[in-house]
Amino acid sequence: MSDHYEYPYPSTELESQHPFHPYDHQRIPEQDMQKRAMSFFAEMNTRRSIRMFSSEPVPQQLIELAVRTASTAPSGAHKQPWTFVATQNKDIKKAIRDAAEEEERTNYLQNRMNADWQRAIAPLGTDHHKEFLEIAPWVVVLFEQRYEIAKDGSQLKNYYVKESVGIAAGLFIAALHQMGLSTLTHTPSPMKFLNHILERPTNERPFCLFPIGYPLDGVKVPDIRRKELNEIFHLL
């Protein structure tokens, strides 16, 4: 098939109504593409979720850069339906830990997590204790904006919110790992307490909580494997 498009984008009519500009793409030689791809994979393949962080401070600028990287994610209708709330305040982190552990006690000790779920996570050895929420120097909560609130108070619909925010979360994790920091995707369910503690509006819903910092010296992680390419990739 040739590169001829019967319906080119943007159409002349569309471009007359909305701004467009040429995409500045820098072509990379295939040999360099392979090297870059292998290097990035090798680096990301060392990424692990940890549950014991050092309390050593992390510069705020690094957290901000990770958020800026996350904000490059594509989103439905370019609505960018995400809010990152970061704190290193000890009182706030303690309040988050206390509320998270209260929910997790119900999950783990009062059977809100069903038997299948408990069996699935048994090799990871997780429980209701969440000390890392206080010890990690930063806690970042990613909120999904279910809808926008206009200046006149009306609601404006957002599109593909979970998909968009999920992609942003992935880029956020990759940015943190690339700069040498560690994190954990923590989702104490339910998470409505985060709206209250962090004073977020009703149009926002907690999506994921990230304790962030350096790994504690000697920290251990489960000896698990990632699926091989032939288990996750099918070529037709």
Mean of pLDDT values over 80-98: 98
Which of the four pLDDT bands, split at 50, 70 and 90, describes residue 114?
Answer: confident
Q: The whole model's pTM is what?
A: 0.95
Does residue 108 register a pLDDT over 70?
A: yes
3-state SS assignment for residue 59: coil
pLDDT at 156: 96
d(CA 129, CA 133): 10
Domains of the chain by start residue, with CATH: 49-214 (3.40.109.10)
- Express as a percent the part of the chain with pLDDT over 90: 86
Start-to-end CA distance of the chain, whole Å, equals: 18
Q: Which carries the bigger pLDDT value, residue 127 or residue 69?
A: 69
Query: Tens of pLDDT along 36-87?
Result: 999 999 999 999 999 999 999 999 999 999 999 999 999 999 999 999 999 9
Q: What is the pLDDT of residue 169?
A: 98
Q: How confident is the model at residue 109 (pLDDT cuts 50, 70, 90)?
A: confident
Tell me which H or E stretch contains 208. Answer: strand 204-213
Which residues have CB under 8 Å from 206's CB, separation 6+? 141, 142, 143, 144, 191, 192, 194, 195
- The model's pLDDT over 48-60, given as tens digits with 9 standing for 90+, comes to 999 999 999 999 9
- 94 or 127: whose pLDDT is higher? 94
Tokens 């552990």, located at residue:
101
**C-alpha 136: how far from chain center:** 17
Residue 1 has pLDDT above 80, yes or no: no
- Higher per-residue confidence, 160 vs 114: 160
Structure confidence by residue, pLDDT tens digits, 194-216: 999 999 999 999 999 999 999 99
